[in-house]
Amino acid sequence: MEPAAICPAPYLPSLATIEDIVDETPDIKTFRVAFVEQELREKFTYRPGQFAEVSVFGRGEATFDIASSPSVLRGALEFTVKRVGKVTEALHELNPGDVIGVRGPYGNWWPAEDWQGKNLIFIGGGVGLPPLRTLLNEVLHESNRQNYGEITVIYGARSPADLVYKRELRLWEQRDDVEFHVTVDAGDETWTGNVGFVPQLLEQVNPSPDNAVALTVGPPIMIKFVLAALKQMGFSDEQIFTSLENRMKCGVGKCGRCNVGPYYVCLHGPVFSFAQIKELPQDF
């Protein structure tokens, strides 16, 4: 498997223009950006699951998963950003037409080539959906869909207002080739869907581990109970994958901030099987 193309210099961000901003929730926005340099816009490639470093000049730099899919969105990238700190606050203050810095792509990716012919189960919570969305839209693309078996999506958030990608959720639900389930921790007067936590919904759906791979990204407490439910259903550690974001900074394995056991999350991840994670220190 050949690595995806990378920006010209590992520490030098390339200029990118914000083309569009979607307000996903009160504190989450999706930014669509395109490189200013036309050649880079045409040649930049990445794999679903990789991440990039995004900088707001004068405010800092932060790590974000690439939320778009290469087969679906060409010539641009999407990042879904929750407002939680200095850099994300600065991003949320920007508008279409503003210029930011992007360097990458970094890290490994979902090994989807190894999963051809298998059933895929996507299990996401809150803002954990973006690193799943990139692969989900890739395998659902008309050029790829025939390579995979059944597709199941299980997604939840704290409230209806906290669900991201609301338009895409409706589109996934309408597809005949997707088994789609969504839940919220607490509904409101307009909500008519499931109410409850993601692990509970997973237990109700009860997907089979036969010829299947489960991908889960979300809050640590959700993942803990999702893992317990999957194990109860008969999934092995080798059949369960997740994407980590913790402590990444430089993106190229030099600063050491994301070092855990034998791994640098930015180099050996962010995608890991649970068989790999089980070998890491217990406080990880």
Q: pLDDT-based confidence at 188, cuts 50/70/90? A: confident
The pLDDT of 252-256, averaged and rounded, is 71
Q: Which domain holds residue 44?
A: 14-106
For the cut 80, the answer to whether the pLDDT of residue 255 exceeds it is: no
- Tokens 């012919």, located at residue: 117
| Number of CB atoms found within 10 A of residue 26's CB | 9
- Which residue is associated with the tokens 């991003």? 91
Whether 6 is covered by a domain: the verdict is no
Q: CATH number, domain at 119?
A: 3.40.50.80
Q: What's the mean pLDDT in 242-260? A: 74
269 domain residue, yes or no: no
Please indicate, yes or no, if residue 282 is contained in any of the structural domains.
no
Picking from 252, 267, 253, the residue whose alpha carbon sits closest to that of residue 12 is: 252
Pick from 84, 106, 128: which residue ends a domain? 106
pLDDT tens-digit readout, 205-215: 999 999 999 99
The yes-or-no verdict on residue 257 having pLDDT over 80 is: no
**Same domain? 118 vs 238:** yes
The answer on 189 and 95 residing in a single domain is no
Average pLDDT of every residue of the chain: 91
State pLDDT tens for residues 138-182: 999 999 999 999 999 999 999 999 999 999 999 999 999 999 999
pLDDT digits (tens, 9 = 90+) for 23-77: 999 999 999 999 999 999 988 999 999 999 999 999 999 999 999 999 999 889 9
The predicted pLDDT at position 9 comes to 61
- Chain center to CA of 7: 21
In a domain, 1, yes or no: no
Is residue 88 scored above 50 in pLDDT?
yes
In a domain, 81, yes or no: yes
Q: Is residue 117 part of a domain?
A: yes
pLDDT of 284 over the 60 cut? no
Q: Which pLDDT value is given to residue 124?
A: 97
Domain tally, the chain: 2
Report the CATH number that the domain containing residue 68 is assigned in CATH. 2.40.30.10
What CA–CA distance (Å, rounded) separates 56 from 102? 9
Residue 98 has pLDDT above 90, yes or no: yes
Query: Does pLDDT of 8 surpass 60?
Result: no
Rounded to whole angstroms, what are the CA distances from 116 to 110, 119, 147, 164, 213?
12, 8, 5, 27, 10
User: Which tops the pLDDT comparison, 196 or 255?
Assistant: 196
4 assigned to some structural domain = no
How many Å apart are CA 208 and CA 121, to the nearest integer? 10
pLDDT for residue 261 is more than 90: no
